[in-house]
Amino acid sequence: MTAKQRQERYSRRVPLVDLGLQYAALKDELDAVVGRVLASGQYVGGPEVEEFESEFAQFCGTPHAVAVGSGTDALRFALKAVGVGKSEGGEGSKGSNPAGERAEVVTSPLTFIASAEAISQAGGRPVFADIHPVSLTLDPAKIEQVITSRTAAILPVHLYGRPADLGPILALARRRALPVVEDACQAHGALYDGRPVGSIGDAGCFSFYPTKNLGACGEGGMVTTSRADVAARVRKLRDHGQVEKYRYAEEGYNGRLDALQAAILRVKLRKLAEWNERRCAVAERYRSGLRDLEERGALVALPGEMPRSRHVYHLFAVRLTDRDRVRAELRELGIDSGVQYPVPLHLQPAYAWMGLREGAFPEAERAAQQVLTLPLYPEITNSQVDRVCEALRMAVDGR
Ligand SMILES: *Cc1c(COP(=O)(O)O)cnc(C)c1O
């Protein structure tokens, strides 16, 4: 291909995500519910939020779902509710965690910082364990090695939309009498052993950040749980610890979901299963379009299906040894791509206090150097996917 041909062919960029298309497809419905909420005069909490909570609980197969301000809020509140950090007094929630003795929460170093940040903000201390080289989620065998008498909980992250290996993680947690909080912020609708994530551990935490599989037009989050005590504590924490009008059991937060976001999310929730199907079909098309590259070793790995789990492809992350070169080449060919995450958390300045160096978690470090995420959203066309495959092939082969 000549430079001119290439330029013509790739003049239309393929973006990593395109949220405008989602709005265009749902414009009438979304405009109507926004108008309805604006006219209602009830903007924080209220019936839209309650309806959304019950619809999301049903989607996840949990008896309780408590809407909060963000995925980060969901993590903070759920961790506190299962007993991480010092109890703030009142209402008998002391005991499981005297004086913060059991404060460590085990999580993955290959995740968004919110997973670890929420642990500290809940009054705990993040402790990292390495990931499994294929699933890129917490390796159950590595968790075992870092559990101590100070461990308070385990926080597996369903990274990129793939469930962490919850079977062995829950078995380990049960043996050690530890609660499990699922970071399902990237995995709405993913399944493990046929059960929706968020319904398997003590609590599940979801984000409705706009780019997530289910995204608001602003911030939002949800805690799902089968434990009534956890649901009740999260309800208190999201509303300043309030138990009845101007009566506070403990200090809490301003962590509520607003009615506009709830109304928008209710419309989008009805599309989520169909959108996830499409994400899986796009992933399959990428896999068949790129399989030969994997087979002849031109790229390290495509994301494969793991036993017991259904991946919902929040992101489609391939692994490449010369990721940064390929990424630059793709950009030139009009293809956007992403890197989640370029630096694992244990090597971030924010966690320098842990004193961990390169080599501490080799699998997470290798993945951080190799992962490249390709454009994937429900509205992407097959011909766009094919163009991405073609461009990746050119980039990998150095043309
Ligand atoms: C998005 C995300 C969060 C945080 O959610 P917010 O809604 O942005 O606060 C937490 N963990 C993971 C893995 C995420 O992807």
Point out the ligand 1 atom lying closest to the alpha carbon of residue 314: 15
At residue 130, what are phi and psi to the nearest 5 degrees?
Answer: -70, 165
- Give domain status of residue 14, yes or no: no
**pLDDT attached to residue 171:** 98
According to the model, what pLDDT value does residue 99 have?
46
- Residue 8 CA, ligand 1 centroid: distance in Å: 38
Residues 249 and 357 in one domain: no
Q: How far apart are CA 154 and CA 218, in angstroms?
A: 29
| Residues in contact with 110: Cβ distance below 8 Å, sequence separation at least 6, in sequence order | 131, 136, 159, 341, 344, 345, 364, 367, 368
Angle between helices 259-295 and 19-40 (to 10 degrees): 170
Shortest-distance atom of ligand 1 to CA 209: 7
Query: Is there a single domain that holds both residue 193 and residue 285?
Result: no
Task: Give the length of the chain.
Answer: 399
The torsion of the CA quartet 276, 280, 286, 287, rounded to 10 degrees, works out to 160
CA distance linking residue 100 with residue 142, whole number of Å: 24
Q: Which atom of ligand 1 is nearest to the CA of 70?
A: 7
Residues with CB under 6 A from ligand 1: 70-72, 111-112, 114-115, 157, 183, 185-186, 207, 209, 219, 221
Q: Is residue 1 part of a domain?
A: no
Ligand 1 atom nearest 73 alpha carbon: 9
| Cα-based torsion angle of the residue sequence 44, 46, 48, 53 in order, rounded to the nearest 10 degrees | 100
Question: What is the CA(205)–ligand 1 centre distance, in A?
Answer: 9
How many other C-beta atoms can be found within 10 angstroms of the C-beta atom of residue 382? Answer: 11
Task: Report the atom number in ligand 1 closest to the C-alpha of 111.
Answer: 13
Find tokens 């493990």 and name the residue.
192
- Domain assignment of residue 204, yes or no: yes
Report yes or no on 10 lying in a domain. Answer: no
The rounded Å distance from CA 207 to ligand 1 centre is 5
| Number of domains the chain is built from | 2
pLDDT number for residue 6? 61
**Cα 62 to middle of ligand 1, angstroms:** 21
> 258 and 307 share a domain?
no
Q: Range of 360's domain?
A: 271-397
**Residue 159 Cα: closest atom of ligand 1:** 13
Instruction: Check whether residue 203 and residue 339 sit in a common domain.
Output: no
Q: Distance (Å, rounded) from C-alpha 7 to C-alpha 334?
A: 9
How remote is the CA of residue 11 from the centroid of ligand 1, in Å? Answer: 33
CA angle at 225 for the pair 270 and 140, rounded to the nearest 5°: 105
Atom of ligand 1 nearest to the CA of 212: 1
pLDDT at 96: 47
What is the chain's percent helix, strand, coil content, to nearest 5? Answer: 45, 15, 40
**95: CATH:** 3.40.640.10
Q: 57 and 191 share a domain?
A: yes
Q: How far is the CA of 252 from the centre of ligand 1 (A)?
A: 20
Atom of ligand 1 nearest to the CA of 220: 7
Same domain, 323 and 256: no
Q: pLDDT digit of tens for each residue in the chain (399 aa)?
A: 666 666 665 568 999 999 999 999 999 999 999 999 999 999 999 999 999 999 999 999 999 999 999 999 999 999 999 999 865 544 444 444 444 567 999 999 999 999 999 999 999 999 999 999 999 999 999 999 999 999 999 999 999 999 999 999 999 999 999 999 999 999 999 999 999 999 999 999 999 999 999 999 999 999 999 999 999 999 999 999 999 999 999 999 999 999 999 999 999 999 999 999 999 999 999 999 999 999 999 899 999 888 999 999 999 999 999 999 999 999 999 999 999 999 999 999 999 999 999 999 999 999 999 999 999 999 999 999 999 999 999 999 985
How remote is the CA of residue 71 from the centroid of ligand 1, in Å? 5
- The C-alpha atoms of residue 396 and residue 299 are separated, in whole angstroms, by 8
Structure tokens at 9: 């062919």
Q: Are 238 and 214 in contact (CB under 8 A)?
A: no
Q: Which residue has the least CA distance to atom 10 on ligand 1? A: 114
Examine residue 5 and state whether it is found in any structural domain, yes or no: no
Expressed in angstroms and rounded, the spacing between residue 310 Cα and the centre of ligand 1 is: 20
Largest Cα–Cα distance in the chain? 73
Query: Within 10 Å of residue 262's Cβ, how many Cβ atoms?
Result: 27
Give the Cα-Cα-Cα angle 224, 230, 234 (nearest 5 degrees): 80
- Of the residues 73, 185, 188, which should be mutated to test ligand 1's pocket, given the most ligand atoms within 8 Å of the CB? 185
CATH for 282 = 3.90.1150.10
In testing the pocket of ligand 1, which one of 73, 207, 238, 373 has its CB within 8 Å of the most ligand atoms? 207
Pick the last residue of a domain from 269, 285, 307: 269
What is the per-residue pLDDT for 92? Answer: 42
Ligand 1 centre distance from Cα of residue 148 (Å): 27
